[in-house]
Structure 1
Amino acid sequence: MEEKIALAACSGMSPNGLVARVAVHDLAIDDHEILSICMGSTSANVEGFTRVLDKYPILAINGCEGNCVGKILKEKGVDIVGELNVGDILAETEYKANDAARLDDEGEICVKIVKDIIEDKINELSE
């Protein structure tokens, strides 16, 4: 990847929200070109966090059909380069997240699946 990208993960209390947060966190730790945006700070207009919104392209990672991440960013006037939905991603597999607070073995598999899709989307965007 030539330029940094920011990932904005769902912060909702659903199993898919947890998968979104863990996948984004793992990717941000593994690649210094990937930043993770705190949606709570973004929603609260915390100074410092809002500068990131204008500096880097942002990919929204929604947990469910509510698509809150994308909606919040758009309501803030933030242009996003794309959106992914964990629920839609996992619906195409035999796996599902089971808990909103802790990952079990199946939840960890879900994280891996979602990370792979996010990486594919980042690669697609950087072409």
Structure 2
Amino acid sequence: MKNYEKIAVTPCAGIGQIFGVITREAAYKLVEELYPDNTVLVCLPALATGVQEDIEFINDYPVLVLNGCKDRCATKAVVDKGGKVDFEVYLPDVLREEKLSLAGEKRSRPGERSRKAIDALADKAEKIIEENIKVREKAV
């Protein structure tokens, strides 16, 4: 039975791509700035290599994945380690909904477009976290 006190935020790795930078930065914003008491950060490389703490996070808490591209590596890693994805925010959907383009953005130096994408992705994920906080408060 999952513990609904926190949500395990799992961003994609996106090695070599701007998508990974955006999903990780959105995750940091959620976990470190906005919801430090309601979230834990799952490190995708640690999860993939079997670090026990990250495996416990995906088994103990509802999992919110932030996927950056069609490969959906965060989802695959969670499922591969026996977890279940409870919520997903998919960056291409957010970009389409917000009419944002990442053309010209570089992984090594995220610019204004990337900042807007980070904020939009975090905003979408924030709605999921907020809803779960409300549901949990009603249950207590």
TM-score (norm 1): 0.89
Q: Kindly state the Cα deviation for residue 64 of structure 1 after the two structures are TM-superposed.
A: 0.6
The superposition leaves residues 19-39 of structure 1 with CA deviations (integer Å, 9 ceiling, x where unpaired) of: 110000111111221211100
Percent of pairs with identical residues: 25
- Give the structure 1 partner of residue 54 of structure 2: 49
- Give the structure 1 partner of residue 20 of structure 2: 17
- The whole-number CA distance in structure 2 between the counterparts of 1:11 and 1:53 is 16
CA contact (8 A) 1:5 1:59 kept: yes
TM-score (norm 2): 0.81
- Give the structure 2 partner of residue 121 of structure 1: 128
Structure 1, unpaired ranges of 5+: none
Structure 2, unpaired ranges of 5+: 136-140
1:18 maps to a residue whose letter is V
- The whole-number CA distance in structure 1 between the counterparts of 2:20 and 2:108 is 9
- Give the structure 2 partner of residue 8 of structure 1: 10
Q: CA RMSD, aligned part only?
A: 1.6
Matched ranges for 1:11-90 at <5 A = 11-13=13-15, 14-30=17-33, 31-32=35-36, 33-90=38-95
Q: For structure 1, which segment, 86-95 or 36-45, has the greater mean C-alpha deviation from structure 2 after superposition?
A: 86-95
- Give the structure 2 partner of residue 104 of structure 1: 111
CA contact (8 A) 1:16 1:87 kept: no
- In our comparison, the structure showing a higher alpha carbon Rg is 2
**Could you say what secondary structure the match of 1:61 adopts?**
strand
Aligned residue pair count: 126
1:16 maps to a residue whose letter is F
- The whole-number CA distance in structure 1 between the counterparts of 2:25 and 2:100 is 16
